[in-house]
Amino acid sequence: MAAKRFYAHCDLIEGTADVYYCSFCNKLVKEKHFQEEHLNKNHDRKLSATLEEWKRKEAQGTARVRPDSAPNRLKR
Ligand SMILES: [Zn+2]
């Protein structure tokens, strides 16, 4: 069984081409969600916050994984 992925804000969901994790809503969403729901939000800041959270989890030990090269809609 594959290890469970940790998804940071705006990470692309594995096995999909157009579904992302929204950390504001804790939901899996399509691209248009970010325009329709969060036009005025700072997504880069939210991504940084979730990556900090991930670093803490990793340091404490977790069964989940997040590749350093995880595809993310903010990184292109
Ligand atoms: Zn959202």
3-state SS, the chain, equals CCCCECCCCCEECCCCCCEEEECCCCEEEEHHHHHHHCCCCCHHHHHHHHHHHHHHHHHHCCCCECCCCCCECCCC
Q: Which residues contact 45 (CB under 8 A, 6 or more apart)?
A: none
Residues in the chain, pLDDT under 70 = 1-2, 76
Report the pLDDT value the prediction gives residue 60, as an integer from 0 to 100: 96
Mean pLDDT of the chain: 95
Question: What is the whole-number distance in angstroms between the Cα of residue 21 and the centre of ligand 1?
Answer: 8
| The pTM of the whole model exceeds 0.85 | yes
Question: What is the whole-number distance in angstroms between the Cα of residue 58 and the centre of ligand 1?
Answer: 25
Report the pLDDT value the prediction gives residue 3, as an integer from 0 to 100: 75
Report the pLDDT value the prediction gives residue 62, as an integer from 0 to 100: 95
Question: What is the whole-number distance in angstroms between the Cα of residue 16 and the centre of ligand 1?
Answer: 18
Question: What is the whole-number distance in angstroms between the Cα of residue 11 and the centre of ligand 1?
Answer: 12
